Amino acid sequence: MKLFKRILIVLLSVFTILLLLVYFSTFHPSDLESVQVKCEEGAPSLESSEPIKVLSWNVQYFAGRNRVFWYDVPDETGPDTGPSKEEIKSTLKKVASVILERDPDFVLFQEVDDGAKKTYSENQSERIMPLLSDRYPCQTEAFYWKAGFVPHPKIMGSVGMKLTIFSKYKILSATRHQLPTPPADPITKQLQLKRAILEASIDVKDKKPLILLNTHLDAFSMGTDTMQRQVAFIENLLDKLDSEKLEWILAGDFNLLPPGFSRKQLHPNGAFFYSDDEEIAPLFKKWDSTASVEELNGPNREKFYTHVPNDPQIAKPDRTIDYIFYSKGITKKEYLVLREGEASESSDHLPLEAVFSLESR
């Protein structure tokens, strides 16, 4: 009995030490916190009478299109764990070329690495900014994955991933909203992604600020209610902004199929990652999307596909999982998914571009 107690004490001590090591090497954001804004002196305010162009893009940590990563197939047997330095350099140039050509007022990126072993511990925001010809005097960002060491056999090192917003116009403030996380054991909970919404308040002349919201919802939460909880969180946030009579634009990678789009339309490897619950439906019911449910399920739905799976059994755009929603006081002028050239060569997601007017409908 004494030996058993000693073994138990040793095991508990080891577990406690392990838990403390994990805790102090991982990221513990508050539910709501202010984040840094970098703005050059003299950054202009937005003119409410001018059209504004927004570009949203999951850039897949600038890895390009030549890899099948371990998580890209359901059994996690993808051969690759990260891109080469040459691939990152090439993709940074391609993404910057698209941005310079399309010349959006606001750029919302998802999956930007910072301090991750697989991308050589580089801050990818700092790498791309010099390629954008000083067009964006303001920027803000928020981490949603950060740890000194993740002991997954395909990672075995540091991770760092963030949302970023680049702006031609003055950002007054920025806030990180913590989204609900998937259920997990105490250690996994510390190491997993802590997905978020990055909110930026844009200065508008003679009007209330315009609110930009950038997000990336969970990707591997099958069998849980995580997606319902994350969408409900977004719904509550948008309701609050509406009650404050603030105009807003929400964009990002939602990792959810459109309402009415059956996952049976997908290759089984793609269908594996989704449920039949239409979790995103509450957002479509209450607010406008740049592509309607009818368009996303209609005869021309392929032009709205945003995801190009790395899985070699698919390897072509086959679904829409990225969206832009906007408040009722904003008018959509144009919307397209950029499907050609460097836009199609840079990521497993295609960039979304929308032009809006802040003038009343």
Q: State residue 97 phi and psi, 5-degree precision.
A: -60, -40
Q: Is the pLDDT of residue 360 over 70?
A: no
140-149 tens-digit pLDDT: 999 999 999 9
Compute CA 234 distance to the chain's CA centroid, rounded to the nearest angstrom: 14
Q: Is the pLDDT of residue 361 over 80?
A: no
Which strands form 322-326's sheet, in the order they lie side by side? 32-34, 171-178, 196-202, 210-216, 248-253, 322-326, 288-289
Q: How far apart are CA 67 and CA 70, in angstroms?
A: 9
pLDDT at 24: 75
pLDDT digits (tens, 9 = 90+) for 183-232: 999 889 999 999 999 999 999 999 999 999 999 999 999 999 999 999 99
pLDDT range class, residue 119, cuts 50, 70, 90: very high
Q: Is the pLDDT of residue 246 over 80?
A: yes
- What is the rounded average pLDDT for all residues in the chain? 95
Q: Which residues pair with 114 in a beta bridge?
A: 123
Rg for the chain, CA atoms, rounded: 21
Start-to-end CA span in the chain (Å): 78
CA dihedral 245, 251, 252, 257 (to 10 degrees): 100
10 pLDDT band (50/70/90 cuts)?
A: low
pTM listed for this prediction: 0.95
